[in-house]
Structure 1
Amino acid sequence: MLKERKPDLVVGVAGCVAQVQGEAILKRAPHVDLVIGTHNLLKLPRLLQKVAARRRVTATDLTTDLRDRFDANLVPLSSIPAKAYVTIMEGCDLFCTFCIVPYTRGREISRSADEIIGEVKALVERGVKEVTLLGQTVNAYGRRPGQIGFHELLARIDEVPGIERIRFTSSHPVYVTRGLVEAYGQLKHLCPHLHLPVQSGSDGVLARMRRRHTRRTYLDIVRRVRDARPDVAVTTDLIVGFPGEGEEDFEETRNLMREVGFSDVYASAYSERPETKASLLPDRVPEMVRRERLTRLLEIQKETSLAQNRARVGGVEDVLVEGRSKTDSDKLTGRTPHNKVVNFRGDASRVGQIIPVRILEVSPHALGGEALG
């Protein structure tokens, strides 16, 4: 074992699993020194001091104290130059039946708008061009008295001198307000991309998931956002094989995909999460059926993505260069405002810049082209 060779090595488990299982991890894994839950990251230096004193430590307390949750001095820079992530809220009040987040992250809590704006300004001064706002239900930001709404926060960030792109993830349909819809037509730096998880196209399945929206309300949101910004790219999350999902339910999801025309889909076969309401639901879908449905779902998206990408051939896209391509080290890779991946030949000195690229070839998952200028 690695720890036998390196006795001073500290082994820790962090995140949602740590939050749920806590002390049980220490009991079944004697090599683990530290279990740290979702609200205790800022305590890490003190916890490591206890571990150094030969103590095994568990820290899984949930807190509503903002000082224990957020530290503007700990800026989560991306590994990609010119991009950064800014957490604006944490937690969730919705309790979807398949999701463990409300139990591991706690209830919704939002940071001060002034603190967020200050962090964005500091990032821009360090050369960041694109920020992605983070939250479990990010567009639930500011629902408490005395706070500004999410669309108002977007408007303030849009005014920060030097910011070029604003993204956010992950949103929930129930919190898509009129102000957020209008922001897509009004804010210069808000990227024309909306990631809006739908999870299923069947109202029956959505009810069992306790999603609080219907197929019709989801389609209405997409229609209104596209009215505000016709070229917006919509991506989503989907779960297939949820307990009780019949073939007709699954076909409704496939039909929803065709109707919306998603730019991309992050789909998975349902897998049980302990401590969730869904883990107690009857009418389980056999694993083989779940896998087969996932394959059929992804085939639809492959066709849709390829058709959308082909329509971009010959056009010019503004690409924020992220680094070397993972599939071809001779090429650079980056993303368009619509969050499309683009690969092209170029010098590494272009990393972190936004440059025009003419699209010459496509696949279902990426665009290929040549840099201009």
Structure 2
Amino acid sequence: MRIYVETYGCWLAKADAQILLQRLGGVVAESPRDADMVLVYTCAVREDGEVRQLRRLEQLSAEARRLVVAGCLAKARPYTIKRIAGGAELIYPEQVEGGRERTMHNLPEPDGGLIYTAPLQVGCLGNCTFCVTKYTRGGAGYVRSAPPDLVVERVRKAVARGAREIYLTGQDVVTYGFDARWRRGWNLPDLLERILSDVEGEYRIRIGMSEPWVFGKFVDAILDIVKRDERIYRYFHLPVQSGSDAVLRRMGRRYTADEYRGLISKIKRELNDDVFIATDIIVGFPGETEEDFGHTLRLMEELQFDKVHVARYSRRPFTEASVMPGQIPDAVKKERSKLASELALRIAHARNSRLVGRRLRVLVDEVDHGLVVGRAPDYRQVVVGRGGGPLGSFIEVEVGRAEPVYLWAKGV
């Protein structure tokens, strides 16, 4: 069966789409017109993304012989999807493996690609008031983790088939093994140690998004591993969401701004600031004042993030924040988003500029619009050439210039 696949959202969604494709026994089709089935794996995190996906589903319903809609939006908006695409079959996130519940006993089979995405867990220990994912996938203490033997076996097979980057992904990666009470072998540091000891080869591991308050419980063990083994990218995605304690409380986040400052400062100190810190910020959350927003800008200035995903707050179904008083006008959210994004780019440019003249060992992993791009030891993007490139190879370069997103190798 020829299956055309479109995926929206996070790396966990991409992994789930791959599991579904393999379970359905299909081969990838290049376009909807060439396909026996169209599979769309959806995301429900943002309202603007929902609008785009619904519009696309309406279009595909007129083209596809058979339309399957899976993922978070399928669970959050089933009646809306059925209204605009009446013949669509729906698969909820917990049904990805074919049963009624998610077991995490079915991981993607390596396909010989340069990147292998390993979904370690689903669920979250948090209960954020803005989050629809806790409804669509699970949260507030619900966690399901993949068996460590299965993860190691898949990673070993992926590396043997040519993978050079291993993305450990999930809703909240550092909660891996919580359902096994974080016993020996069933926690993120132990899993990292096991992969590094059992899987030989030249590859890099990227740790996915983690909640700061849980990450803090394992930070010492994780940093010890990162310092000892260059196969782990010096990259951490730790969403802060706001620099205001008042807003963090309304969001249901389980840390203060000072506690978050302490975590990031510790990471930078332990790694001599040779690290890439990515974060997420929501502007315009209900009740956010100009003073609250100012606290966020000051936190960005102080912690000097390498990348900031700035999002305007949008109401999501089934969330407490959607009915909170003090909803912020769109014009105000847009202005705050503009200011935060501009500041984020200025800081990123300054952070990258420190590396001009430095020699880096880069893993070449993509060709993007004619640019050959690789990843530095901290996952920073480095343009190493134009045209084609030796994908999967490691090369030494000297950084010649810097931009907010890219470093450029000297001579390119």
TM range (shorter): 0.7 to 0.9
State the shift of 1:165 in Å.
1.3
Decide whether the 8 Å contact of 2:383 with 2:408 is kept in 1. yes
Equivalent residue for 2:69, pick from 6, 10, 13: 13
Counterpart selection for 2:222 from 183, 193, 212? 183
The aligned counterpart of 2:281 is: 238
349, 360, 363: which one aligns with 2:400: 360
Q: 1:31 to 1:182 in 2, by over 3 A?
A: same
Query: What's the CA shift string for 1:199-228, capped at 9, x where partnerless?
Result: 000000000000111101111111222232
Task: After superposition, give the CA deviation of every residue in 1:254-313 in whole Å (9 maximum; x if it has no partner).
Answer: 010011100110111111111111101100111101110111111211111111111111
CA distance in 1, matches of 2:247, 2:289: 9
Residues 5 and 279 of structure 1: is their aligned pair in 2 closer, same or farther, counting only changes over 3 Å?
A: closer
Aligned partner of 2:263 in structure 1 is 221
TM-score by length of 1: 0.86
Bigger Cα displacement from structure 2, 158-167 vs 201-210:
158-167
Amino acid at match of 1:10: R
Residue 184 of structure 1 contacts residue 225 of structure 1 at CA under 8 Å; is this kept in 2?
A: yes
Aligned residue for 1:168? Answer: 207
Provide structure 2 residue ranges, at least 5 long, that are not aligned to the other structure.
1-57
SS at match of 2:253: coil
Q: Deviations over 1:26-62 (max 9, x none)?
A: 2x1254321111122233xxxxxxxxxxxxxxxxx86
* Alpha-carbon distance between aligned partners in 1 of 2:155 and 2:213, rounded to the nearest angstrom: 27
Asked whether the equivalents of residues 320 and 336 of structure 1 are also in contact (C-alpha less than 8 Å), the reply is: yes
Superposed, 1:120-135 pairs within 5 Å as 120-135=155-170
The CA deviation string for residues 132-174 of structure 1, in whole angstroms up to 9 with x for no partner, is 1011011011123356221111121222211531111110012
Q: CA deviation at 1:77?
A: 5.5
Counterpart for residue 35 of structure 1: 90
Letter in 1 for 2:322: S
Q: Is the 8 A contact 1:321 1:333 kept in 2?
A: yes
Matches of 1:240 and 1:177, distance apart in 2:
24
2:380 is aligned to 340
Aligned to 1:56: none
Relative to structure 1, the CA distance from residue 205 to residue 2 in structure 2 (aligned partners, 3 Å threshold; closer, same or farther) is closer
Query: Superposition RMSD on alpha carbons, in Å?
Result: 2.3
2:125 corresponds in structure 1 to 93
Distance change (3 Å), C-alpha of 1:371 and 1:193: farther
TM-score, structure 2 length as denominator? 0.78
Matches of 2:61 and 2:132, distance apart in 1: 35
Q: Which has the larger radius of gyration?
A: 1
* 1:332, distance to aligned residue in structure 2 (A): 0.9
Percent sequence identity is: 32
Q: Which amino acid aligns with 1:320?
A: L
In the other structure, the counterpart of 2:43 is none
Q: For residues 359 and 202 of structure 1, what CA distance do their matches in structure 2 show?
A: 37
Matched length = 344
**Pick from 51, 67, 75: which aligns with 2:109?**
75
Contact map agreement 1:244 1:284 (CA 8 A) in 2: yes
**5+ residue gaps in structure 1?**
44-60
Alignment partners' CA distance in 2, 1:262 and 1:349:
30
Shift of 1:181: 3.0
State the distance in 1 between where 2:173 and 2:155 align. Answer: 16
- Counterparts of 2:152 and 2:293, CA distance in 1: 43
Q: How does 1:1-373 map to 2 (within 5 A)?
A: 9-26=65-82, 28-43=83-98, 63-64=101-102, 66=103, 69-72=104-107, 74-75=108-109, 81-106=113-138, 107-143=142-178, 144-145=180-181, 146=183, 148-159=186-197, 160-187=199-226, 188=229, 189-230=231-272, 231-326=274-369, 329=370, 331-345=371-385, 348-370=388-410
CA contact (8 A) 2:364 2:392 kept: yes
How far apart are the structure 1 equivalents of 2:225 and 2:207?
A: 16
